[in-house]
Structure formats: structure tokens, C-alpha cells
Amino acid sequence: MKSIQAYRFALDLTPRQERAVSAHAGAARVAHNWALARVKAVMDQRAAERTYGATEAELTPTVGWSLPALRRAWNSAKGEVAPWWRECSKEAFNTGLDALARALKNWSDSRSGKRAGRPVGFPRFKSRRRATPSVRSTTGAIRVEPDRKHVVLPRLGRLKLHESSRKLARRLDNGTARIESATVRRDGSRWHVASTVEVERAERVPVRPTSVVGVDVGIKHLAVLTNDELVPNPRHLADAQQRMRSLGRSLSRKIGPDRRTGRRASKRWQRAATRLGRAHARVANLRRDGMHKLTTRLAREHGTVVVEDLNVAGMLRNRRLARHIADAGFAEIRRQLAYKTECNGGRLVVADRWYPSSKTCSGCGTVKAKLALSERTYTCTTCGLTLDRDLNAARNLAALAREVDTAGSGPVAGRGADRKTRARGLVAVKRQPGTASAGQTGTVLPQGRTTNRVLTKAH
């Protein structure tokens, strides 16, 4: 089975190498901004000509938005725009043009309705201070050295890795992997190289193929599992909040850049900004490490993992809980489980957004009409069951996966309602069979939805 996998390693660059990588990232930004200015100028000119009453045939000819068209235009003008273009690899300019081509296509598809999700805005110019520097190489010499401590990239040469690349090197030596591209990017104050690799892997089977686990994510506990396991929420951002505030106050007292007057930032401001960036990068690394360990363990041990389709964007509108929700990373947990269960031969079942997992009794199936967020203990008035509300939700999610298998190994309706929960038992809920084989993601959809309004589900 072939799959695309990324291998990310930290780099230990010399000052000369760091200047070279920064120059390549700057070249990508220059090409992006030049092409965007060209496209925007033609669009503004055509809009102005329409106000004069000109016909479509009389308008200024359009310019191509595809990557080949942008590349041809750049090659014809790079001698005047960037006389130093020979100092950088062609992959640097291709990085900026490819990013612009993708952004323009996403904007166009969003306006025409071809792209689902939230509206995509028109591309903006990249700033040297605010944009994250990165450069992507797709051709040329991209390899890992035999010592597994260095990587070779086009024009950048031999770069030292901070850690051993033995996991990637073993696959390359065995002929089960092929590097397609490599992206050098700066996160905080450290540069990383991420290689996109096509991997040939054997079919995997979870440790317990018949095991079903429901995962209820939350703020108090990062995840509550069906087997009564409570995964604590590390709250990395909350722990580092005091230090970040101190660093932010220190940064505000320094002389920073001013775009209105053209004032450049002082050296002290740059050092303070570097310290603050390192603090943010540390929080992101700790959060990423914990999520990967949790999702990898779940995908390897259990054959079926059940999660909820949470409206995270709507939950972030709650100004009192937004920071804690963002720190927990609900959407990232689901994203990682989606591809890890497929790679390990398992299955991910996504419960519908309107499925009342917290309001349903896991013992008798009675559904409460209302359940306040402050009620952390679920008490059933029918059977007298009393347990933690998150554990109750996790058990309902696991039971939902068993109903999927009973209905024909496919997704079923979470409940026959559109939005508002009505007090009733699960025996009255209509079911709809579907198809979802092992190794695929099954989505539990509702019946009779009559609105597209986005609401927030409280847990």
C-alpha cells in the first residue's frame, strides 16, 4: 500500500547557510508579490474600463493564473525585476508562484461555489516581517547523506540535521520510500526541513481489531475514553501564559518597526521578539507532541475509533472558552485520527454534529431535552444512572459504532431531529443504513435536517 508521509527534522545551520536559506525564502516572496501585483493591476484596469462602458472585446486582455502561465511571465521579466536571480535556485521562485496560483484558484472556486467551506479572500502581498519564510524544492538533488546527519538540497548544499534521520534513511535504503519534495521553513527561531515521501508500507492491523473506543474531547480532560481512561489536558498555553505576558511587555517597551514612518526595529526589539517567538514555538511543539502520542496509541490499539463532528469554529466564538478550546486542539485530534486509523487498518466513525451524546443516557437510552454545561455529572431520571457526563458521552459514541455495524457496516442517523433535542428514548429514533468499509471514515448523518445554520454544541 502506497501512501504519502512527511518526515520533519530540525536543522543546525551555520550563519552562512542561514543567510542563504533566508535569501531563497525572500526570492520566493519577491516572485509572489510581483506576480500578484501584475494580476491585480490587470483586474483593476479591466474593472475601470467596464465603468467607461467598454465591451468585453475592448477590455485589456486577461493574464493566466495557472502556474505555467505565471512561470512564463516571470521568466520573461526576471532580468529586470530581480537582476540577482542567478544567485538563487529556480525552485525558490517557483515556490512563490505556486503559492499564488493555488491562492488564486481557491479564491476563484470559492466565489463560483466550487469550493466548500468558508469564503476564501483574495490573496494578499507577503510581508518580510510577518510572513513565515519557507522554500520548497521539487527537483534537483534531494537526498539524505549516508551518515544520516545531513541532507542535501538544490543550491543550498549539505545541511546538518539536529537529529538523526534513520527512520527515513532506512526506508530509502530498502527502496520502500521516494522523496518527492523538501520544504525548508522557519518555526520560531529554528529552521526545519520537511520531506514529502511516497512510502510503500505493508498492510497493518490494529492490536485489537474488534475493539471499539469512543473518544469525547473536552477542556477539563483532553479526552475521555470508553474504558474509563481520562487523558488529562496539559494546558500548555495556560502554563506558559505568565511568561508570555512578561515577554510581551518587555517587547512593547522596545523600539519596534513603524511602517508609517519607515522606522526600523532596534536590535533589542529583535532579540525580544525572538524570545517571544521561541516561547510560542515551545508551546506549539509540546501540544503537537502530546496529540501525536495520543492519536497514534488510539489508532494502533483499537479497530474502531468514534469521535464527534464538533463545530470548533463556532465554539471559538465563546470569548470565555476560546483560548482553552484553541489550546486543546479538538480539530487537530480528529484530523490526525482520520489518516492514522486508515494507515493502521482501522476505521474512524464520525458522529453527527447533532447527535446528543452528552444528553443521552448510556444505560437506558433516554434523551434529556436540556443539559447545562455546568452539570458535570449526568443523572438519569428514568433508570437512576449517575456518572461523569464526559464518560457517558464516550460510552454513547462507542454504542453508536456498534449500531453502525448492526445496520450493515455503514453510517446511521444519529437521531431524527434537525436542531433541537427533544426528550425521548433511543428506541424511537429512525435509522438509515449506509456503507463504510474498514479502513475508511464513516460519517454519521442526521435525517430531516431543515437548516444550514451553524450552532455550537456544548460539552
What is the full per-residue pLDDT of the chain (459 aa) written as tens digits?
A: 888 999 999 999 999 999 999 999 999 999 999 999 999 999 999 999 888 888 888 888 888 999 999 999 999 999 999 999 999 999 999 999 999 999 999 999 999 999 988 899 999 999 988 899 999 999 888 999 999 999 999 999 999 999 999 999 999 999 999 999 999 999 878 999 999 999 998 888 999 998 999 999 988 899 999 888 899 999 999 999 999 999 999 999 999 999 889 899 999 999 999 999 999 999 999 999 999 999 999 999 999 999 998 888 888 998 888 999 999 999 999 999 999 999 899 999 998 888 888 888 888 888 888 888 888 888 888 888 888 888 988 988 888 887 776 655 444 444 444 555 555 443 333 333 333 333 444 444 333 333 333 333 444
Residue 316 burial (C-beta neighbours within 10 Å; 0-12, 13-18, 19+): middle
Give the strand pairing for 150-153 and 157-161: antiparallel
Locus of grid cell 454513547: 396
CA–CA separation, 26 and 12 (whole Å) = 20
What is the pLDDT, as a whole number, of residue 422?
Answer: 56
Locus of grid cell 507577503: 126
Catalytic residues: 216, 308, 390
Q: What SS3 class is residue 363?
A: coil
CA–CA separation, 348 and 341 (whole Å) = 6
What is the pLDDT, as a whole number, of residue 34?
Answer: 96
What is the pLDDT, as a whole number, of residue 313?
Answer: 86
Q: What SS3 class is residue 122?
A: coil
Residue 254: C-alpha distances to residues 127, 131, 271, 278 (Å): 21, 21, 10, 18
Question: In whole angstroms, how large is the CA radius of gyration of the chain?
Answer: 26
Task: Select from 131, 130, 134, 98 the least CA-distant residue to 11.
Answer: 134
Rounded to 5 degrees, what angle do the CA atoms 223, 228, 232 make? 35
CA–CA separation, 236 and 117 (whole Å) = 30
What is the pLDDT, as a whole number, of residue 406?
Answer: 61
**Cβ-count burial 59-96 (b if 16+ within 10 Å, e if not):** eeeeeebebeebbebbeeebeeebeebeebbbbbbbbb
What is the pLDDT, as a whole number, of residue 421?
Answer: 59
Spans of all domains in the chain: 2-15+133-200, 22-112, 209-232+304-443
* Residue 391 CB coordination number (10 Å): 22
What is the pLDDT, as a whole number, of residue 188?
Answer: 79
* Residue 230 CB coordination number (10 Å): 15
The dihedral of CA 428, 434, 438, 441: what is its sign?
negative
